[in-house]
Amino acid sequence: MSRAELPVVAATTSPDLVGLQATLHESFGGEARFDRLSRALYSTDASVFQIVPVGVLLPKSEADVVAVVKACAKHRVPLTARGGGTSQAGQCIGAGVVLDCSKYLNRVLEINATERWVRVEPGCVLDELNAELKPFGLQFPLDISTSNRATIGGMVANNSSGTRSVVYGKTIDHVLELTVVLSDGSVVQVGPLSESEWRERCGRRDLEGRSYGVVDRLARQYGDEIERRFPKILRRVGGYNLDCFTDRRARCRWGPG
């Protein structure tokens, strides 16, 4: 079946587009596209699915991303981030707004060759990162076959790996820290925590603290079941990595401890 024959899934709700655009007009400095052609272009990824978004937003700064998240929350419009669009299961298409980080937020910000780490924007393409790292004799080791399109943001969200993942691991094994915009627009840093730092975060009353608290509670309450039922395989994307947070969490360095 060709893509033209596939059913086009339309938004099931009627988002407040006029309100959304008015809010964005005040706060968003990036590129906003609500025309039919752009919406059609962003209605597919590398999957068989097709969902036409109500609009496409291309942020130029972190402040733009925050503005989009806040505007979508305010007007209750679903938000789907997008990098290279190479997902094979429809992860980066959606009926609300698509947030494309690949056009402007794609820079390598800092390379520390001595400590062997790099700081990038989410839309940075893997091959372009590796081209910048090459003079230092370094590379981001995951060799996914879409490396000339795939972005680091998309790789993080998909926990991408590659043909040599048995040797090099998955994206999560190479991420030191993330700057994340939460659904209320707050910007937080996430990364490995000590037990005391973990407890301190769980005790906070803001959205960040409540998020840690939920994970902590789920891991404690369902620890045995999580241990029993999570597949013991190297490459796994589903399940929010809850198995990193149970008492027997030795497999992952992102859990507390």
Interface residue list for ligand FAD (CB under 6 A): 45-46, 80-88, 91-92, 101, 122, 144-146, 149-151, 153-155, 157-158, 160-162
Closest separation between CB of residue 56 and ligand FAD, Å?
13
Closest separation between CB of residue 221 and ligand FAD, Å?
27
Closest separation between CB of residue 32 and ligand FAD, Å?
17
Nearer to ligand FAD (CB atom), residue 54 or residue 150 = 150
Q: Which pair of tokens denotes residue 255?
A: 């859990």
Nearer to ligand FAD (CB atom), residue 199 or residue 235 = 235
- DSSP result, 191-202: ----HHHHHHHH
> Cβ-closest residue to ligand FAD?
154
Phi-psi map region of 240: left, alpha, beta (phi>0 left; psi -120 to 50 alpha):
left
Nearer to ligand FAD (CB atom), residue 38 or residue 80 = 80
Closest separation between CB of residue 146 and ligand FAD, Å?
4
Dihedral through CA 32, CA 38, CA 40, CA 41, nearest 10? -110
Q: Which pair of tokens denotes residue 144?
A: 């996914």
CA angle centred on 55, ends 51 and 60, rounded to 5°: 125
SS3 80: strand
Closest separation between CB of residue 88 and ligand FAD, Å?
5
Q: Are 20 and 53 in contact (CB under 8 A)?
A: no
CA angle centred on 87, ends 43 and 132, rounded to 5°: 115
- Evaluate the CA torsion angle 12, 13, 16, 20 in order and state its sign: negative
CA distance 56 to 51: 13
Nearer to ligand FAD (CB atom), residue 87 or residue 246 = 87
Nearer to ligand FAD (CB atom), residue 92 or residue 219 = 92
Give the rounded distance of the alpha carbon of 222 from its chain centre.
Answer: 26
Closest separation between CB of residue 104 and ligand FAD, Å?
12
Nearer to ligand FAD (CB atom), residue 85 or residue 256 = 85
Closest separation between CB of residue 36 and ligand FAD, Å?
21
CA distance 229 to 239: 11
Nearer to ligand FAD (CB atom), residue 99 or residue 202 = 99
Of 201, 193, 196, nearest in space to 253 by CA: 193
